[in-house]
Amino acid sequence: MAWFVLVLSGVLEAVWATALGRSDGLTRPVPAVTFVVALGLSMTGLGYAMRTLPVGTSYAVWVGVGSVLTIVVAAATGAESISVAKALLLAGLVGCIVGLKLVH
């Protein structure tokens, strides 16, 4: 259960990071509220996962999932370009996240 919550918290990290970027310095209400809610839920889930999983592993997985998804969303919406090199590096990051789960 902790792993499921951790990955879900990583997804919420991508939500709050994207919302923060779209909030125009927290001046746009909908993205700003989305940011605050997703941030709170993401941190709560991370804290829950850290009760049973190692802190370093939890944090690395949380940041990794959030980073990869944030870049994927930005690329899908045209806010950020994607290259073969960037895609390979993201694939490597995903591989490292899976590796952390496997060695746990």
The predicted structure's pLDDT at residue 12: 98
**Residue given tokens 């994927």 in the structure block:** 72
- pTM confidence score: 0.90
66 contact partners, CB below 8 Å, separation of at least 6: 10, 11, 12, 13, 14, 17, 42
The predicted structure's pLDDT at residue 104: 77
Domain ranges, ordered by start, for the chain: 2-103
pLDDT digits (tens, 9 = 90+) for 37-92: 999 999 999 999 999 999 999 999 999 999 999 999 999 999 999 999 999 999 99
